[in-house]
Amino acid sequence: MPNGRSSWAGRILALLAKDLRAEYRTRYAVSAVFLFALTTLAAVSFSLGAGGLPAHYLSVLFWVILFFSALSGLAQSFVKEAETKTAVTLKLAASDDVVFFGKWTFNLALMLGLEIVLIPLFLIFLNAQLARWSLFLSVVVLGSLGMVSATTLIAAVIAAAGVRGALFSVLSLPVLLPLLVPLVRVTEICFPGGAQGSGIPELRLLAGYAVVVMAGGWLLFPYVWRE
């Protein structure tokens, strides 16, 4: 439609498509993330995997591997644009909302992609089973939403600061710590032999965190993106 204004969703999808296409051709973020995840998983499995591990070990190992793997790739969405000077182009091409949600969606896609690969491998390499699949998947999705919401804004901050990787982890962890604690506790419930509970209060907490941090990120983003 040459002369109509396309919808908000259409514009966000355009940014997502561009990022996915670029990622497909260069594979920067994906390589970093998967390499980290697989290496860590291999190391953990090698030393601990033989016997069955208690539920709380499995829970914390899962989230540690997932968190740090994701952190190694989630900054890229903004840092690469800043480094290659395409950020200026983007600032003059799209509105702030479109940029924030486009990058958010890309980061979410990256995290979900990682999880789709990591979860089966994790269960295989650590000889683990899940007692409660639907709770586990809900937890993983909500945790990912929260994590992506926080880190998208922080990635924009470090890209604007002109600094690299290490600071990204330093800034992300304090904001994500409140997410990590309930995540580990409720994931423990999903493994056999773990603590008991419905998991509902934790799910509510995770959903609340995701909503609040996404709203906060969205509101604060223009101050980071624009001078």
Partner 1 sequence: MWWKYLTGAAMAGVIVAAFMLPAPQIQIGDASRIFFFHVPAALAGFVAFVVAAVYGAVYLKTRNLVADRRAAASAEVGLTFSTIALISGAIFANVTWGVFWNWDPRETTLLAVLLVYAAYFALRQAVGHPSTRARLSAVYILLGGVAAPFLFFVLPRMYVSLHPRDTLVSGGGEFAMTLPVGLTFGAAMVTYVLLYLWLFQLADRAGRIKEELDYQREHVL
Partner 2 sequence: MAYVAGQIGLTGGFTLTLDGVSKAYGRRRICLDVSLELKIGDRLAVVGPNGSGKTTFLKLLCGLLRPDHGVIHYTNDGVAEDRLTWYRFVGLVAPDLALYDELTALENLRFLSRVGGWPKADAELRSLLVEVGLEEREHDLVVTFSSGMKQRLKYAAALVKNPPLLLLDEPTANLDEAGVAMFGRMINTYRSRGICVMATNDPKEAELAERQIVMGR
- Residues of this chain that bind partner 1 (CB under 8 A): 150, 153-154, 157, 160-163, 167, 170-171, 173-179, 181-182, 185, 201-202, 205, 208-209, 212-213, 216-217, 220, 223-224, 227
Closest CB to partner 1 among residues 52, 165 = 165
The candidate with the shortest Cα–Cα distance to 182, out of 192, 167, 197, 168, is: 197
8 A C-beta contact, residue 189 and residue 196: yes
Closest CB to partner 2 among residues 98, 155 = 98
Specify burial of residue 220 (Cβ count, 10 A radius: 0-12, 13-18, 19+). middle
What is the smallest separation between the CB atom of 161 and partner 1, expressed in angstroms? Answer: 5
The candidate with the shortest Cα–Cα distance to 77, out of 156, 190, 184, 182, is: 156
Options 50, 88, 200, 211; binder of partner 2; rule CB under 8 A = 88
Instruction: Scan for tokens 């540690």, then name that residue.
Output: 64
Q: Is 1 in the site for partner 2 (CB under 8 A)?
A: yes
Closest CB to partner 1 among residues 16, 179 = 179
196 binds, among partner 2, partner 1, none (CB under 5 to 8 A by kind): none
Q: Distance of alpha carbon 11 from its chain centroid, rounded?
A: 22
Q: Is 227 in the site for partner 2 (CB under 8 A)?
A: yes
